Amino acid sequence: MKTLFFISTLFLLLATTVNANEPIIHFTPDEMAYIKEKKEITMCVDPDWEPFEVINTKGEHEGIAADLISLVSKRIGMTIRLIPTKTWQETLVLSKTGKCDILSFVNQTPEREKWLIFTQPLLSDPNILITREDHPFIANLNGVDHESVVLPAGTAMLERMRKDFSNLRFISVVSEGDAMKMVSEKKADMTVRSLIVAAYVIKKEGWFNLKISGQPLGYENHLRMGILKNEPKIRDILNKGISTITPIEKEIIINKHTGLVVQEGIGYKTVILTVFGLLSIIGLIALLNYLLRRKIRFAVAKELQMKEQLLEGSKKAEIGNMVANISHQWREPLSKLSSINLLIMAKLQTNQLIEDKWLIKQSQELENTLDFMSLTMQNFLDFYKKSSNTTTFSVAQSIEAVFSIMETKFLDNSITVGLHVEQEYLINGIKNEWMQVWLNLLNNAVAVLVERKISNPTITIVVTSQMIQICDNGGGLKDEKEHNGLGILMCKEILNKYEAELILSNIQEGLCAKIVLKA
């Protein structure tokens, strides 16, 4: 394997140096005369289309398209000069008014054929449907009614889809990033993007609540240079330059701008199996999550029938809250798994080989994520498992188990939680009953901190041999009746069984719930 890695690395290094002997292009006498007279070609680009192309803060053209066109420029012996623009709409206006000879990286469409002719493709790349993670798979866009599709204005994709899918609603925005953001924030149902762009942007912006939900057939990107109709010789000259770019050169350029560095080391079949393995794991986790919820609902419902009305109402409310917590807690890990799968799919779709080291790293991330999900599920099961058996357990460890269930809620609301164990204390009792007490008190504290929009929200827990104290900086209780919510009454009901007392009192910054243990 190390030998393969070395040979592959050497091969890529050679590929970058062999170009010192540039390929010879045979121009016609007319073309040579045109090149000598024309001297330079003016070019307009999309200023905000990472990783394909951008205009950076120095006014320079960067990205996959920039590097490919730079190769073409060098090989045909003509300068291609950038005409800077701030938006794609401005680029189109300049092109239509003849202010630039070529557009850099575009799909050929009937609308653009009104003023442009096109080179052969510089690069081909499939388009995919991007939705939020909760959206079902889309096998056929004709079967999706009244959903919204957001796309950058003036793009070939918007032009074509409006014509092909009257069953969809279309929203136009300024940039690729705006489109992805609207889908992420539930302001649109989906967008359609290049696979390379989608993989790059999702990873860069951290939009891991997005996923690939399908691929519209016949919607591949064949990205070409568009030339003004009155300049056919430019097209012919550029085509000769484009034909000299090798697949290896394209791959090196794509890797440079997407961060998906690849080397030889794993066979294509192995990668396919890995992708299907990851998809199977994600599907299995979703199925287990569904079965677990159903099992918990049935088990808890049966138990609730034997409870008093007070405990019944409180527990039902807590079940819904807890299931929501677990779903929320698993959202980020599932997004990580989806992200790994997305990156591998991007490599496969662009016919790239995958390095052992990279795949091992992704597998370790997968393993760590599954370990976290397993621990969360175990704490969940411990909490809801019907039990009349008493055990001796650590107070601090049972509180930490509840932390693992509520961690995402703390993070989402920027709540700092501190656990200070002045003296370890062991309780002999039913563990999940005590976990219910910690959960109720912590949920109450979180609710107050969020509702009152407390700056720097904090929850502090202190454990000693005589008491457990949970304090927050939420401003305290303003009405004595607030002491008697269902959650608090349930806590008191449980603590009475163990001859422990719950005392609620306001302090300077907020509320303290003190559990005084029996001597």
Distance CA 363, CA 349 (A): 20
- Protein fold of 127-214: D-Maltodextrin-Binding Protein; domain 2 (3.40.190)
CA dihedral 482, 484, 488, 493 (to 10 degrees): 170
pLDDT of residue 381: 59
pLDDT in tens, 68-91: 999 999 999 999 999 999 999 999
Distance CA 282, CA 290 (A): 12
pLDDT of residue 102: 96
As a three-state string, the secondary structure of 361-391 is: HHHHHHHHHHHHHHHHHHHHHHHHCCCCCCE
Q: Where are the domains of the chain?
A: 2-123+221-258, 127-214, 283-384, 391-516
Distance CA 441, CA 222 (A): 59
Distance CA 181, CA 232 (A): 40
pLDDT of residue 151: 92
Mean pLDDT of each 10-residue bin along the chain, 519 residues long: 37 41 83 90 93 92 94 93 93 94 92 94 88 84 90 86 91 86 92 83 75 82 94 94 89 76 38 46 56 60 51 51 58 67 72 75 73 64 61 89 78 89 87 84 89 92 91 82 60 85 90 87
pLDDT in tens, 129-156: 899 888 888 888 888 888 999 998 888 8
Residues paired with residue 190 on neighbouring β-strands, in sequence order? 131, 149
pLDDT of residue 265: 37
Given the candidates 3.40.50.2020, 3.40.50.1100, 3.20.20.80, 3.40.190.10, the CATH classification of the domain at 2-123+221-258 is 3.40.190.10
CATH 3.40.50.300 fits 391-516, yes or no: no
List the beta strands (DSSP E) in 390-446.
Answer: 391-394, 416-421, 426-429
Residues 6+ apart with CB under 8 A from 325: 405, 406, 408, 409
pLDDT of residue 12: 42
DSSP, collapsed to helix, strand or coil, labels residue 102 as strand
pLDDT of residue 231: 93
pLDDT of residue 275: 45
Under 8 Å between Cβ of 446 and 410: yes
pLDDT of residue 512: 93
pLDDT of residue 16: 41
pLDDT of residue 415: 92
User: Is there a common fold for 127-214 and 391-516?
Assistant: no
Residues 6+ apart with CB under 8 A from 206: none
Q: Is the pTM above the cut of 0.75?
A: no
